[in-house]
Chain A
């Protein structure tokens, strides 16, 4: 990422204001194509002009926000729990070799498994309710975090650890000064990955269990031929996704300037 910025700075032919103008132009072109395609399709199809018209009404409706809050609340709780459990278990696995070796094949398989696939099974376990959604979010989020914490804590430079030990630095100090700084950027990257998966998991769970939330709102509105309202939901979901991922990226760049991931 830093390399990319350097390229941008070097070429220097376009000022920020020109870039801003062009990005607006890009959105206009995209919207125009969408509008043109939509006029060919059936009348209920969402089109930018009508989505813009529906936006104020949907956004000013408190019911919409309470529905959206349920989804984002579940994502926040599930993701936080996954962060805590994932980081701790990953670090332990990275440091205690026996556990790490025993667990890593399972972790790899669980990481590769699309958690969407176990949603039907989770409905058998927890029912068609918000608990299933929380479980899907948690399970979607935890494995990227655990795996990255595991990899990150193993990345601690061996020579630094050795130097630390030869200066009789205690385990706690080594963790704070050597292991944590090298593992944290990895964990942060894992959290970013997990956040995207958590959002997908929440929406899938809502689709499948008809639990109240933004995903179900989108499904219901589009089934009721109110696609413009549904599209507002998609836009909110996309904005939150973008906000989380760019926010975490900025935070990582500021907090851990010593690594580039």
Chain B
């Protein structure tokens, strides 16, 4: 039914504006045979993965520190909350003039988009670690580091997964935004080029693929989250 509505809308508007599902499908098949698409997907994918990996690698320790230390929480909690609410696209012009073009500034953008949900959720989880467990560990003279590793981290894991699931989606937005506004590469570049050439069918086809890819990674994130949710200890 959606397809029928789409073809109807397309047949009543100009070609530049909207093209029908058939032509979009044809263009999609054409694109799939084009190595440029695969290169673009690979380069965007790499950017997304590197930014996301960095945000997990740095976000989890920061979150654990915030969750474990009340002083750290009091000092940096408000800053983290404020950064989480900041639309990170707005800092792209600064990153551009500081770091210029290249892969690093783009990965930094993806990182900034993705890291704060991980920090916040990890901190929340570390704070919700059952007190009895921490107390038992302490009475067995477990060091702070060992307690964090063996008690707090496992009980925080479901929260980390929740943060990562949110980060996956935000990193996707960050990837496209970085490719639009920093050195143009990957899917972002392709999207801009297509709109400049009025290749509406190509834009729609690529958008559809992007939606599909997004839905897949988000479904994977949700599944991982649910798998570890069984560990969740209700406070």
Contact = CB atoms under 8 A, between A and B. Distances in A.
Interface of A: 3-4, 6-7, 10-11, 13-14, 18-19, 22-23, 25-27, 29-30, 41-42, 44-46, 102, 106, 108-110, 112-114, 116-121, 123-125, 196, 199-200, 203-204, 207-208, 215, 218-219, 222-223, 227, 230-231, 233-234, 237-238, 241-242, 244-246
Contacts of A30: 76, 79
Chain A at the B interface: SS class: helix
B114 to A, nearest CB: 13
Given A45-B98, A112-B215, 13 more contacts: A14-B74, A26-B74, A41-B98, A112-B214, A113-B207, A114-B169, A120-B191, A120-B194, A124-B198, A207-B89, A207-B181, A215-B89, A238-B82
Contact of A218 (B76, B79, B90): B90
23 contacts: A13-B70, A22-B75, A23-B75, A23-B77, A26-B79, A45-B98, A109-B214, A112-B172, A113-B207, A114-B173, A114-B210, A116-B176, A120-B203, A199-B87, A204-B180, A207-B89, A207-B180, A218-B90, A223-B93, A238-B83, A238-B90, A244-B85, A246-B85
Interface residues of B, number: 61
B26 to A, nearest CB: 18
Nearest to A126: B17
Given A44-B97, A113-B207, A120-B194, A242 B91 contact: no
Interface string B24-44: 000000000000000000000
Given A26-B75, A117-B191, A242 B85 contact: yes
Interface in B177-199: 177, 180-181, 187-188, 191-192, 194-196, 198
Contact of B93 (A125, A219, A246): A219
